[in-house]
Structures are given as C-alpha cells and as structure tokens.
Amino acid sequence: MRRRSLLAAAATTTLAAGCGAPTVTTSDSLRGRITYGVWDVYQMKAMRKAAKEFERTHPGTTVDVQLTPNATYWTKLRTACSGGSAPDVFWLNGPNFGLYADAGQLLPLDTEGADAVFDPGDFPADMTKLYRWKGTQYGAPKDFDTIALWFNKELFDRAKVDYPDGSWTWQDMINNAQRLTDRKRGTYGIAAPVRSQENYYDSIAQAGGWVISKDRTKSGYADPKTMEGLKLWVDLIHRYRASPTLQQLTDTDPTQMFQAGKLAMGWEASYNAATFWADPELRAKIDVAPLPRGRHRASILHGLANVIYARTKYPALAREFVRFMSGKSASLIQAKYGTAIPARNGTQKPWTDGMPKFDLQVHLDAVDYSVPYPISTNTAAWAHKELQMLARAWSGNESLDSATRSLTKAMDKLLAQEGKARS
C-alpha cells in the first residue's frame, strides 16, 4: 500500500513537471481535454456555450461538459474523488465545500500576482469568502442567488391590498398575509415551508440571530433571537393561519403552489425567476419586492463556485478554464441565459434585462445587505437534522422550544465530531 502510494506520488510529480508548472502561459501546457462537472440541466445551454467559447479562444483544447443530476451528483463526485477520476473542474456549493476543501481534494487558486485566477475585487466579498478555507482560496465564484419576496398581483388586487415594497416590516407582511388568505378559494397569504436558504436562514438573520458560530464549533439555535426568526414561520401557520400547514406544503411544493396562483406571497430565490418567466401567463401576474425587515434587513447570499480537482492531469489548463469562466465574457453568457446571476460585478445587466417585467434589481440590491450562507466541514450532516427537527415544530407535533433544544444538542455533537476528526 505504502509502496503504491509512493509510486503514485512519484508519478504525479513527474506528471506535474511534464505539464510545465512554471511556464503556465506557454501554449504547450494549454492543450488537452478537460472535463467540467455540472448538475443543473437548466444551465447546460449556457455552460456548453461558454465551453465552446473557451475552445474557440484556446485552440487545441476541448472542454467536455458533464451533467450529473443533483440527486446523484454528490455521491458520484465523492466516489470519483476517492478513486482519482473526478472531473478536472467542477461545480461546488456552500454546504459541500467544507468537506472537499478540508480533505485536500481541491487545488488552491491564486488571487494575486501573475498567476491570479481571479481578482476578489471583482466579486461580492461574501461570495469569495464562502469559498476560502483556512485562509486559502479554493473556489472561484460562478454565480450567486439572493432571496426576495415574490408576490401575485392578481391576488393582491382581489383582496385590495397594496403591493409590497421596501418599506414593509414583518408585521406588515403578517397583517397583509392574513388579509390575503381566502380559505374558501384555497388561497393563502404566504407559504411557511421548512426551507433554510429561502426562508428561515433569512428570518434568523433579520431577527439578529445566528445559525453557527464564527469558528464553526457551536450551534446558534439556543439563542432567543434565532428562535424569534423561526417563530415567525410557525406563527404564520398556527397563530395567524395565513399559510398552508406543513402537511399541505409537503404534499404540494410551495413554489409550485405559488406558480399555480394559490399563494399571494412567497420567499423565493433568484434562480426561480427564469422558471417563472418561462410561463407567459404567470409572467403577467407576478412581481418581486425586497424581503420585509425584521430587526434588521437581511437576505441570504449563496452561490456556486468553480473548483479544480487536486489530482487533475491538466492543472494549468484547468486554471486557465476557471480564469475564463470567472471572466467577463463567460459571465455575460451566463447572464444572458438567465438561470443564474453571474457572480462577477457589473455583468448582471443581461440577467435583469432578459426579464423586463420583473423588478429584478431587488435581487441584485440584496447583495448590499446579504448574510453569508452558514457552513462547516460536514454541513450536510447537521443540515439534515435541522430540517427534520424543525419540521416537528412547524407541524405542531412539538413545541419550538423543545425542538430547538434537541436540535442544538444534536448539532453541537456533530460539530464536536468534526473537530475530533480534524485533530
């Protein structure tokens, strides 16, 4: 075993040497075929187009865009990484980043000097920070999404309620959600699903609470302010009766309910805008406003990054590709296709222009008051517990107090395990 790994190490060194690491910019090292792993079928067109553009401007290269559906992407990627056969460049998201960065599966990216893959000044600071692990940058921000309040104008008109705007507070949202609820018709003011990124992470930040401590060792679910952010949703279902129950939301997805005109309002992520736009009937009926204000104004910022597999055979070419994908032309291609907002500053205009009836500037402005998505090394483990345990409070099977108490305990235990695994 040891012998074999020594051999492997020797092989990689020669390979790296053969690739000519010091002369990154010579055309010799920039030939070859790399694979690019992605999971979103809706972004395939944009990704293929960008890859084509790269091939055109870099003769002698081929970029093979490989789509793996989200459901199997992570299982497959993890297996491929252990086996040494992962794509040279691939997408990563916040909840999974820690795992790969911590295990040394990613190639560090330079952000200054001649070899810089991208300049952090060109991207929202929180996005760059999301893909930095222990002081080293591993991911180049590809896109971002923010959360905003989407609403159905038709239902607002029928209930004679003014459309939401930036001045709304939680209380405004609650009052109007009640007025907009019409149980006879089966329409509700708002949906209160157990969704982290779109719902309770935002409200927790608005209430001044926190999900995970800065050093990623403690759960924030025992903090009364965090609980306030959760209580908003539980109350919208049980106290104000302005949202469908969790059972209803389990049987029918809230975004689908909104699309079907059964919800007057919904907290939705920017990546749904293109789907809403694609339906001409829906397009005419809906619009978007900033999230209401709690104690603070806040919206969760999350986005994907392009990363390079540590054991790629073409590190120089992979770097060049990531550099290209972070650049202006690839960002504009992304923006044009509309599914994701390109992360690069100043390239988002085609995204908003593509859907002129929606006030999409709201989603872009949200970056100014955004809060980063909470992660740790093994985010998936506690995020799953979080959903499961909070669902018990949302459904009314358990009090919010007792649900958050057991969640804090379970999350702290998992975070302690992470710490142990690291040392």
Identify residues 46-75 at the interface with other proteins (CB under 8 A). 71, 74-75
> Binder to other proteins among 28, 157, 253, 368 (CB under 8 A)?
253
> Binder to other proteins among 108, 208, 380, 412 (CB under 8 A)?
380
Alpha-carbon distance 65 to 87, whole Å? 9
Range list of β-strands (E), 295-420: 299-301, 305-308, 341-342, 370-372
Residue placing its CB nearer to other proteins in the complex, 364 or 391 = 391
* Smallest separation (angstroms) from other proteins to the CB of 12: 16
CA-nearest of 91, 103, 19 to 315 is 19
* Smallest separation (angstroms) from other proteins to the CB of 75: 5
Token output for 91: 């997408």
> Binder to other proteins among 82, 167, 171, 217 (CB under 8 A)?
82
User: Which residue in the block uniquely carries the two structure tokens 């018709």?
Assistant: 185
Identify residues 165-224 at the interface with other proteins (CB under 8 A). 186, 193-195
Kindly write down the DSSP assignment for every residue of 19-75, as one continuous string: TTGGGTTSGGGG-EEEEEEE--GGGHHHHHHHHHHHHHHSTTEEEEEEE--HHHHHH
Pairing of strands 89-92, 305-308: antiparallel
Exposed e or buried b per residue across 385-398, where buried means at least 16 C-beta atoms within 10 angstroms of its C-beta: bbeebbbbbbbeeb
Q: How far is CA 45 from CA 112, 319, 339, 349, in A?
A: 31, 22, 10, 19
Residue placing its CB nearer to other proteins in the complex, 73 or 351 = 73
Residue placing its CB nearer to other proteins in the complex, 194 or 227 = 194
CA-nearest of 66, 115, 112 to 87 is 66
> Binder to other proteins among 14, 247, 361, 399 (CB under 8 A)?
247
* Smallest separation (angstroms) from other proteins to the CB of 355: 23
**Three-state secondary-structure class, residue 370:** strand
Query: Does 12 contact other proteins by CB under 8 A?
Result: no
> Binder to other proteins among 34, 63, 99, 148 (CB under 8 A)?
99
Residue placing its CB nearer to other proteins in the complex, 175 or 248 = 248
Q: Which span sits near other proteins by CB under 8 A: 45-53, 76-84, 119-127, 283-291?
A: 76-84
Identify residues 104-143 at the interface with other proteins (CB under 8 A). 105
Residue placing its CB nearer to other proteins in the complex, 203 or 326 = 203
Residue placing its CB nearer to other proteins in the complex, 18 or 186 = 186
Identify residues 319-358 at the interface with other proteins (CB under 8 A). none
Identify the H or E element spanning 286: strand 286-289
* All residues at 6 or more sequence positions from 71 whose CB lies less than 8 Å from its CB, including other chains: none
Range list of β-strands (E), 328-380: 341-342, 370-372
Contact positions vs other proteins (CB under 8 A): 71, 74-75, 78, 81-82, 99, 103, 105, 186, 193-195, 245-253, 378, 380-381, 384, 387-388, 390-392, 394-395, 397, 421
